Amino acid sequence: MGLQDQCEELYKTSNLYEVIGVTKDASEAEVWQVIINHCQVPVVTKTKADQDRNREDYWRTMFPKITLQDMLNFEKSYKNCEDEKHDLMQVYVEHKGDMDRIMENVLCATLEDETRIRAILKSAICSKVLQAHKAFTNETKKALINNFVDDLEAKYCKKRASSSSGRKGKK
């Protein structure tokens, strides 16, 4: 489709002079003046507050605020999915089977997930997808119990106020 066809479709005329709004006997300078005047963008003065608001609005269209519900939905969709299994295996290799480090570095992992995560990793080791590391396979029952007790204490016990002089108040 050529320029004149487009003018006919958009402006109902193929006469370029009519499209830009000048007579056929207009000088080149007059034609250019009309074109330049038509193409100028009006200058709008904005305050700093307007600019900041526009930036924030643009930012929010690109990156909406994340709510607690968004995080809970992500956790629900992430746990037990292939991405989590891939991440678990990657962290297992990176930390050479150290379960404490694995639990610290896996997304959405909580104390309640340790048994499930351990089972996923054991399954991958048994199927030869992962190489067995001593830190994982030789972890003793005593170490497991100590980790469990430490985690329970951290979760449910209040920290004692530490003081270097012992008891306070009595002399």
Give per-residue pLDDT as tens, 134-144.
888 877 565 66
51 close to 44: Cβ distance less than 8 angstroms: no
Asked whether the predicted pLDDT for residue 71 surpasses 70, the reply is yes
Question: What pLDDT does residue 143 have?
Answer: 65
Question: What pLDDT does residue 125 have?
Answer: 92
Which candidate, 20, 15, 25, places its Cα nearest to that of 36? 20
Asked whether the predicted pLDDT for residue 166 surpasses 50, the reply is no
The domain locations on the chain are 3-39, 88-153
Q: How confident is the model at residue 46 (pLDDT cuts 50, 70, 90)?
A: low
Question: What pLDDT does residue 102 have?
Answer: 93
Question: What pLDDT does residue 141 have?
Answer: 62
In this prediction, residues 73-91 reach a mean pLDDT of 94
Q: What is the pLDDT of residues 98-131, one digit of tens each?
A: 988 999 999 999 888 988 999 999 999 999 999 9
- Tell me how crowded residue 111 is: count the other CB atoms within 10 A of its CB: 13
Question: What pLDDT does residue 45 have?
Answer: 61
Percentage, residues of the chain above pLDDT 90: 34
Average pLDDT of the chain, as a whole number: 82
Measured between alpha carbons, how far is 159 from 162 in angstroms, rounded to an integer? Answer: 9
Q: What is the pTM of this model?
A: 0.50
In this prediction, residues 54-58 reach a mean pLDDT of 82
Single-letter residue type at 75? E
Measured between alpha carbons, how far is 42 from 58 in angstroms, rounded to an integer? Answer: 22
Instruction: Give the Å distances, CA to CA, from 127 to 20, 96, 113, 120.
Output: 75, 18, 21, 11
Q: What is the pLDDT of residues 7-23, one digit of tens each?
A: 888 888 888 888 888 88
